Amino acid sequence: MKKTTSKDLAIILGAILLAVASLSLLGRLHIDSSTDAFIPQKAEVVSINNEIERQFGSMDAMLVGISTQSGSVLTAQSLEIIEAMTVQFSTIEGVDSVVSLTNSDHMQSSSDGFEAVSLYNKNEADPIANLSKRLAEWPEVYDGTIISTDRTMAAIIIQPKTNLSQEAQDTILKELKAIVDATPRNSLQFSYVGLPVVKQQINESLMQDMAILAPIVGLLIILVLFFSFRRFGGVLLPLIGLVISASITVGIMAILNITFTMATMLVPVLLLIVGSAYAIHVMSHFYAEVALFNRTLDPGETQVIIHEVVHRNRLPIIMAGATTAAGFIAQFTSPLGPFRTFGLLSAIGVILSQLSALYLLPALLRVTYRNGIDPNKLRTSREQKRARKGGHPAFALLTRISLKGRIPLIVISVIFIIATVALVPTIKTGTNMLDFFKPSSALVKDTNRFNSTMNGSGILTVMIDGKDPSAVLTPQFLAALDEFSATMEKLPAVGKVQTVTPYIKRMNLIMNKDTEPYSKATQTEASFDFFGGSFGLDADFDVEEDVIETNSAVTWDPQTYHEIPTDPAKYGLETDQDLQNMISQYLLLYSGNLNNFINDSLEPNATLITIQLQQSDTQILRDTTAAINTYWTDYLDNGWEYAIGGGEAIALALSDLVTKSQIYSLVGALLIVWVLVSIIFRSPAAGFLGLIPVVFALMGIFSFMALLKIHLDIITSLLAALAIGIGVDYAIHFLAAFQRQDTSKDQKQVLARVMNTTGRAIVINAASVIIGFSGLIFSRFMPIKQMGILFCVSMLFAGISSLTVLPMVIHMWQPKFIYNHNANKSEQKSITSNKRRITP
């Protein structure tokens, strides 16, 4: 006896110590909940983006919007604020460049050439009028980029250095916000937009969300335990086990250096919910066994009951745990790393919960009731009354429905199946990180406002590589690039297509608007070498004169030079190569400032196109990508290559991977569960029967996803396999209960007995899981909130179908593994054999 108690104390202390040690590792957890953490590093789009960053610099710009409720931001006061911020932003560590109205150069023609002047120069006369005039001169570059067309919003574009960690980017954002907060507002409104902002918000909210969800879910589980057992011990003992197994799982995450993503963050919360079901099983069986007696049980008798309860529940708990773990393990088929990690961790967690229910909880029970237990304190009068009446009327109704309602049940099921099949194709996939936030959140509002006023914050890029130096400067290619911009900008979601062509057109206009090209005689070029011949003396270079005929002046119109030069004759040149050289010479004047568009400042072989999107749901991304593919596949010659990248390309690739992952894990989970159930009952038919509640759970998930317009995303796609793993438990319990019955007796009686025992357990189990998951509704992240809703729906469907459709099919089909298996078996076998040893 003493030996047992010290063994129990050792188990309890050991578990508590492990949990405390695990929690002490919390600080080591690395958090990254951007969708970047989900995309496999070997994915094509990742290497494309890396190559784009290598050649053209960072793409993840942060944008600060400055807007007025009414009127224009082009006032001296607003511009002073923008200027001060621009200066301060550029001193932040990790910032590569800052672009705004107040630090941009404007290119214009001067009396005898070209000048780059400040776009805004507060020291000149009438600076605002000059700024407005300059902005109007080159709208294709300025409008929607640093100033809105209606002039109500200006933007400061902050480009971080390449290869910055998420933490470094978060620090930049914090400093940006600190600067903005310290700035007098003067009725201006500030907004923060861009992918780094979204990522930072997710990271910042993740721990807070976890800190809110865990206590809420914990509280809900406490409520479930309280209403189930109405005893302090009945609440506390299971809870200790749950908290310990969840804590150890977190510790394992920290030790294995597993990144805390939005998926893995759910593991501890899920374990609290799933683990509570096992604990409820053990506790309810323990109290039920004790309640059979009318007198206080001595310590020895209590120990025997605990041993018997554990013995009886070991197999069901292991089976239920195995199928739930199977649902999690099905995530191993996913192409997404964090999903596999989620699967592994959850499976480990489920095993820990099982161990806790089978070893820690009994140890706690033995220690708590070491002096024996009085059953009279346990039974409520309602339970006693119900026991006398022979069951809850609801179960009588369910029994009647199962036996008599065959046709309505089949009709409803068929309608449900047809509806689901029709609805599934309407489910939208999407992993847009902005969609993680509530539409009412500041981030979503800011972004929507920015997108509707400016060119859009969603970015798709196209890198075109012509392989040879200057390949992308051929007049024909540049003209095609210009046409591409025009074509894409006709698409409704495309705000702007940024390419190098406006810069070339502008320089071409400036260089040719004052003087007609080659209107006077010129000579061929000499090959200079200051170090050759008589350099350093007063001697002249020996230049051979060769006068070229002048071009006709008849057609000369300065405004026609705002173009990509494609006609050599118009420029007094002979070949396309000459035009290409002219364009290279224009680029020289930009002194490497076009590095975001071309990969070499003089002879680029590759160019980058940036497509700004005002909306970026998956369908829009697919349509835009298709339009890009159509255009460039048709245009580009052999040897040329193009690749689509950008933040939205990652989102699109992730959406596809999520869909793939969903299909794999769904098929995987169904298969594993079918095999497991078939093995448990030694019958493939049992496997199929086991899938009935699972199929209903899945239909519930997918039809509600379609109806509630919930996207299939990185979180909601975890749900199906999880629902399979948990939903099949109901079928296993139900089938096992049927197997224990003497099926030769009256069907109604048999079913009524199963309904009142196992059916009741299923209802409690489903209710506890539903109540636990409803806690997720309090998440600030939409996918987690939606997961909570969908899980409740799926468990409801699984529970109802296992108490109606499943018995109906068993009754109709009369499978051999039930009806031939146990004619002589009695459900109470183990209990009666046990009771013989303890006299009531």
Partner 1 sequence: MKRIKQLFIIIALITLPAMAFANTGTEIMQRVQDVQKADSSAMDIRLGLIESNGEVRERRIQTLTLTENGLTNTITVFLSPASVKNTRFLTRQRNDGTDDQWIYLPALGRVKRIAASEGSGSFMGSDFSYSDMASTTYDTDEANHTLIREETINNRNAYVIESIPFTTSDYGKTVIWVDKETYLPLKVEFYEKDETTLLKRLITDDIAFTDGRWITKSITMTTIATNHSTRIEILQAKYNIPMNSGYFTTSFLETGRVL
φ/ψ of residue 815, rounded to 5: -65, 150
Closest CB to partner 1 among residues 547, 667: 547
Closest CB to partner 1 among residues 111, 440: 111
Q: What residue spans of 683-718 are helical by DSSP H? A: 684-707
Closest CB to partner 1 among residues 232, 541: 541
Query: Sign of the C-alpha dihedral, residues 191, 195, 200, 201?
Result: positive
To the nearest whole angstrom, how small is the minimum distance from the Cβ of residue 504 to partner 1?
13
Closest CB to partner 1 among residues 107, 202: 107
User: Per-residue DSSP letters for 154-188?
Assistant: EEEEEEEPTT--HHHHHHHHHHHHHHHHTS--TT-
- Secondary-structure percent of the chain, ordered helix, strand, coil, rounded to 5: 65, 10, 30
Task: Name residues whose C-beta falls within 8 Å of residue 294's C-beta, 6 or more positions apart in sequence.
Answer: 375, 376, 840
To the nearest whole angstrom, how small is the minimum distance from the Cβ of residue 133 to partner 1?
17
φ/ψ of residue 805, rounded to 5: -70, -45
To the nearest whole angstrom, how small is the minimum distance from the Cβ of residue 519 to partner 1?
10
- Report the C-alpha gap between 772 and 52 in whole angstroms: 46
To the nearest whole angstrom, how small is the minimum distance from the Cβ of residue 248 to partner 1?
39
Closest CB to partner 1 among residues 41, 111: 111
The answer to whether the beta carbons of residues 459 and 63 sit under 8 Å apart is no
φ/ψ of residue 191, rounded to 5: -135, 150
The answer to whether the beta carbons of residues 329 and 665 sit under 8 Å apart is no
Closest CB to partner 1 among residues 534, 619: 534
Token digits of residue 583: 């364009």
To the nearest whole angstrom, how small is the minimum distance from the Cβ of residue 361 to partner 1?
53
Closest CB to partner 1 among residues 380, 534: 534
To the nearest whole angstrom, how small is the minimum distance from the Cβ of residue 137 to partner 1?
16
Binding region for partner 1 (CB under 8 A): 54, 91, 93, 97, 105, 110-118, 161-163, 469-470, 473, 511-512, 515, 517-518, 522-523, 525-531, 535-538, 540-541, 543, 571-573, 578-582, 584-586, 588-589, 591-593, 595, 600-603
Residues β-bridged to residue 712: 429
To the nearest whole angstrom, how small is the minimum distance from the Cβ of residue 636 to partner 1?
22
The answer to whether the beta carbons of residues 320 and 762 sit under 8 Å apart is no
Closest CB to partner 1 among residues 586, 642: 586
Closest CB to partner 1 among residues 441, 584: 584
Closest CB to partner 1 among residues 467, 709: 467
φ/ψ of residue 536, rounded to 5: 95, -20
The answer to whether the beta carbons of residues 124 and 130 sit under 8 Å apart is yes
**Cα-Cα end-to-end distance for the chain:** 22
To the nearest whole angstrom, how small is the minimum distance from the Cβ of residue 598 to partner 1?
9
Angle formed by the axes of helices 805-813 and 406-423, to 10°? 120
Closest CB to partner 1 among residues 486, 537: 537
Amino acid at the residue 104: S
The answer to whether the beta carbons of residues 156 and 30 sit under 8 Å apart is no
To the nearest whole angstrom, how small is the minimum distance from the Cβ of residue 567 to partner 1?
14
3-state secondary structure 422-440: HHHHHCCECCCHHHHCCCC
Nearest to 750, CA basis, from 762, 761, 738: 738
Q: 193: helix, coil or strand?
A: strand
To the nearest whole angstrom, how small is the minimum distance from the Cβ of residue 437 to partner 1?
31
Closest CB to partner 1 among residues 150, 574: 574
- Report the C-alpha gap between 365 and 221 in whole angstroms: 19
To the nearest whole angstrom, how small is the minimum distance from the Cβ of residue 154 to partner 1?
20
To the nearest whole angstrom, how small is the minimum distance from the Cβ of residue 568 to partner 1?
10
Q: How many CB atoms lie within 10 A of CB 379?
A: 16
